[in-house]
Amino acid sequence: MKVYQTSEIRNILLIGGAKTGKTTLAEDMLFEGGVINRRGSVEDKNTVSDYRPIELERQNSVVSSVLNTIYDGRKINFIDTPGFDDFIGEVVAALRVTDTALMLVNAQNGVEVGTEITWRYTTRNNTPVIFVINSLDLEHANFDETLRQLKGRFGKNVTLLQYPLNAGIGFNSIIDLLKMKMFKFPQGGGKPEILDIPEEEKAKAEELHNALIEELASKDESLMEHFFEHGSLNEEQIAKGLKTGIIHRSIFPVMCVCAKHNMGVGRLLEFIVNSVPAPDEMPPVKTTTGKEIQCKSKDPATAFVFKTSIEAHLGEVTFFKVFAGEINEAMDMINANRNSKERLSQLFVMNGKNREKVEKLVAGDIGATIKLKSTFTNNTLNSLKAPDEIIEPIVYPEPKFRVAIKAKNQSDDEKLGGIMSEISKMDPTVIVEYSKELKQVLLHGQGELHLNIAKWTIENLEKIAVEYISPKIPYRETITKPAKSMYRHKKQSGGAGQFGEVHMMIEPYREGMKDQSEFPIRGRDNIDLEWGGKLMLHNCIVGGAIDARFIPAILKGLMEKIEEGPLTGSYARDIVVSVYDGKMHPVDSNEISFRLAGRNAFKEAFKNAGPRILEPIYDVEVIVPEDKMGDVMTDLQGRRAIIMGMDSEGNYQKILAKVPLAEMNRYSTALSSLTSGRATYSMRFAEYSQVPGDIQDKLLKAYEEQEKEEE
């Protein structure tokens, strides 16, 4: 393949809700560029983009595909992304390396929740957007209503460049307001005739064209002066105004296609190469130190890894964007994240599973390599001459669905662990957690569908039978009032015996609290517990009742019981322990004696100190259509939610609530059912809070029954 220079490259992202036609449009773009000579279809399971077994079975994308086509001497890299919210991590990663998003909207369905969700991510990333209204051939296609919704949801900068002449059954014509021509397509699609606008449409087209020119002029002071002086803009000025507006997100062009029949796609590609910014026209990328990296091919090479996948016959494939400089085959680079050297032995440009070998990639281009030793998603590769800068990492959304996983055959446990690590490497939004506390292996993801796809992969591709079970809740235990106890450990069974007696007082820890004054404090151990909260041990021994060398043993006993709380076996936290008395034996006292005495004294005191169970509380943000607010609020209140506030976001409402994790199990499924898939949510850990008394009683009873079963 020819080496394309930075100014000849365009990087595009295909986004939008499920079933808006992204994969079909990708097929058209490859066909129009001559990369393929026959268009495949999702129904026939032969598209370039959707080639993985799970995608063929489901007939929709679950993983992003990196593709490229050539049009008018320019190379267009584009990434086809999944439309379901469960796979939003693929969109977030692709946004980091593309310059403009094509937002597909189904003309029959209008603005959907998938449109809203992906729009929010383009806004956070400051990515230019072009709206592409698709499926204009469907019976109930309504272009005018879809355009009204776009303007209503996304503002006055939504700018019409084309409109269909006859949307619906028999659709075949598009009026182009830039060229002021009509594109008429033959039956079944193909190369259009470019005709004059029909007489009956001229007045409407002229009015829209003039409004477009005025809109473009308003985005640039020099264009505005020319417009006032001459009443119009020439072709070069129009192109300048469009590009400026797109780059600064002051214009969101609206174009028309019928991807199923390849209508309007050639004109869309022409618009991309002429009006969409090249990589060096976009703002520079930033590093973790705040430095800006300009997209210049003459600078030292810097590349950013945005995706890792495993492909048949290739193994692990590393996808990257060259943000600066040039990368050559067999080039040595430094992984700045790991301070290790990597050799890029081979370079490829990818089209789905197909690859084409290249010798060089320049700044702005997207490529792939294989067989890297220790380079993964979110790593930065620098040339040996480049500074050791790290490009800001992709920030993935917080997980909002979790399950516990185990192999049906215990002998597969070790193999399953390796497979799950590989899945997490390929998809960073699948998080694997080995919970010592819960004695479960947890999978965290974006939704039930997301983790069901992981299960499908394990069972169908790796041939390991697994099951998902409800995850346990990481409760915590604490106390609410002071209590004292003593415990004597005495054991004599011939030879040396064991003897240790410990007297202690425990009390709840609070930030900024004053020390107890009943006993003098002669030594302190302040411990920040791994699971949150504090343990403070005060040595209040006087007169040598317990030798100082046994205090660490008492602490060890305390930690053992704190790691397995007396109430439910959960971690305990926020406790002050004052050891104020005890007894030793000159021969039989040893470390194990005081470890056991300390452990059991703590257990006894805990039961009398107003013990409480704490549960994890999450900050939950729900974005919901206004007409579904009541249903969602009622459901949240049934989950013991505390509503913290409400706000509007476009035509959607935002509900902010604090919800116990125990009540969030399968919430994504419930929310989707309540709102027909039109709502989305995010959740983040907030704090631990006491569970209500009735729930504590249920938890204690369940733990007692569990212990009886294990005896």
Give the pLDDT of residue 295: 97
Contact 535, 562 (CB under 8 A): yes
Domain 6-281: which topology?
A: Rossmann fold (3.40.50)
d(CA 580, CA 569): 27
d(CA 711, CA 704): 11
pLDDT higher than threshold 70 for residue 702: yes
The percent of residues in the chain predicted with pLDDT above 90, rounded, is: 80
**Domain 477-610 is found in CATH 3.30.479.10:** no
d(CA 403, CA 443): 5
| pLDDT averaged over every residue in the chain | 93
Q: What is the DSSP string of 333-373?
A: EEETTTTEEEEE--EEEEETTEEEEESEEETT-EEEEE--S
Q: Which amino acid is at 233?
A: L
Contact 23, 49 (CB under 8 A): yes
111-128: pLDDT as tens digits: 987 898 899 899 999 999
d(CA 116, CA 111): 7
239-254: pLDDT as tens digits: 888 999 999 999 999 9
Question: CA of 349: how far to CAs of 10, 65, 72, 272, 374, in Å?
Answer: 14, 12, 19, 20, 21
**In the block, residue with structure tokens 């089209």:** 351
pLDDT band at 138 (very low <50, low <70, confident <90, very high): very high
Give the pLDDT of residue 13: 97
96-114: pLDDT as tens digits: 999 999 999 999 999 987 8
Task: Specify the long-range contacts of residues 523-528, CB closer than 8 Å, at least 24 apart.
Answer: 523/548, 523/551, 525/555
613-661: pLDDT as tens digits: 999 999 999 988 888 999 999 999 999 999 999 998 766 789 999 999 9
- Among 480, 490, 500, smallest CA distance to 541 is for 500
Give the pLDDT of residue 552: 95
User: Buried (b) or exposed (e) across 402-425, using 16+ Cβ within 10 A?
Assistant: bbbbebeeeebeeebeebbeebbb
pLDDT higher than threshold 80 for residue 709: no
Q: Do domains 402-464 and 613-694 have the same CATH topology?
A: yes
Please tell me what DSSP assigns to residue 84.
S
**Cross-sheet strand order for the sheet of 354-358:** 340-344, 331-335, 380-383, 302-311, 315-324, 366-370, 347-351, 354-358
Contact 110, 136 (CB under 8 A): no
- Among 513, 520, 517, smallest CA distance to 536 is for 513
Domain 285-383: which topology?
A: Elongation Factor Tu (Ef-tu); domain 3 (2.40.30)
pLDDT higher than threshold 60 for residue 711: no
Contact 22, 15 (CB under 8 A): yes
Contact 572, 477 (CB under 8 A): yes
Coil/strand/helix, residue 61: coil
329-339: pLDDT as tens digits: 999 999 999 99
- Among 401, 391, 428, 400, smallest CA distance to 89 is for 428
Phi/psi region, residue 640 (left: phi>0; alpha: psi -120 to 50; beta: rest), is: left
> Which spans in 430-511 are helix H?
448-456
Contact 86, 50 (CB under 8 A): no
Q: Which amino acid is at 100?
A: T
CATH architecture of the region 402-464: 2-Layer Sandwich (3.30)
Q: Per the structure block, which two tokens stand in for 573?
A: 């936290």
Distance of CA 436 to the CA centre of its chain: 25
Q: Per the structure block, which two tokens stand in for 250?
A: 């002051």
> What residues does each domain of the chain span?
6-281, 285-383, 402-464, 477-610, 613-694
pLDDT higher than threshold 80 for residue 268: yes
Give the pLDDT of residue 113: 79
73-77, 158-162, 411-415, 647-651: range with lowest mean pLDDT: 647-651
- Among 575, 573, 582, smallest CA distance to 540 is for 582
Give the pLDDT of residue 710: 66
Contact 567, 611 (CB under 8 A): yes
> Which spans in 563-628 are helix H?
591-607
pLDDT higher than threshold 70 for residue 494: no
Q: Per the structure block, which two tokens stand in for 602?
A: 């703590």
Give the pLDDT of residue 571: 95
For residue 495, count CB atoms less than 10 angstroms from its CB and return exposed for 0-12, middle for 13-18, buried for 19 or more. exposed
Give the pLDDT of residue 679: 84
Mean of the pLDDT values across residues 185-195?
A: 91
Task: Specify the long-range contacts of residues 311-319, CB closer than 8 Å, at least 24 apart.
Answer: 311/353, 312/353, 314/355, 314/370, 315/370, 315/371, 316/370, 316/371, 316/372, 317/350, 317/368, 317/369, 317/370, 318/368, 318/369, 318/370, 318/372, 318/375, 318/376, 319/66, 319/350, 319/366, 319/367, 319/368
For residue 463, count CB atoms less than 10 angstroms from its CB and return exposed for 0-12, middle for 13-18, buried for 19 or more. exposed
d(CA 690, CA 615): 6
pLDDT higher than threshold 60 for residue 686: yes
Which residues make Cβ contacts (< 8 Å) with residue 16, sequence separation at least 6? Answer: 22, 83, 103, 104, 105, 114, 115, 118
Q: Per the structure block, which two tokens stand in for 148?
A: 């009204």
Q: What is the DSSP string of 108-141?
A: TT-S-HHHHHHHHHHHHHT--EEEEEE-TTSTT-
**Domain 613-694 is found in CATH 2.60.40.1120:** no
pLDDT higher than threshold 90 for residue 703: no
Question: CA of 231: how far to CAs of 223, 241, 679, in Å?
Answer: 11, 15, 46
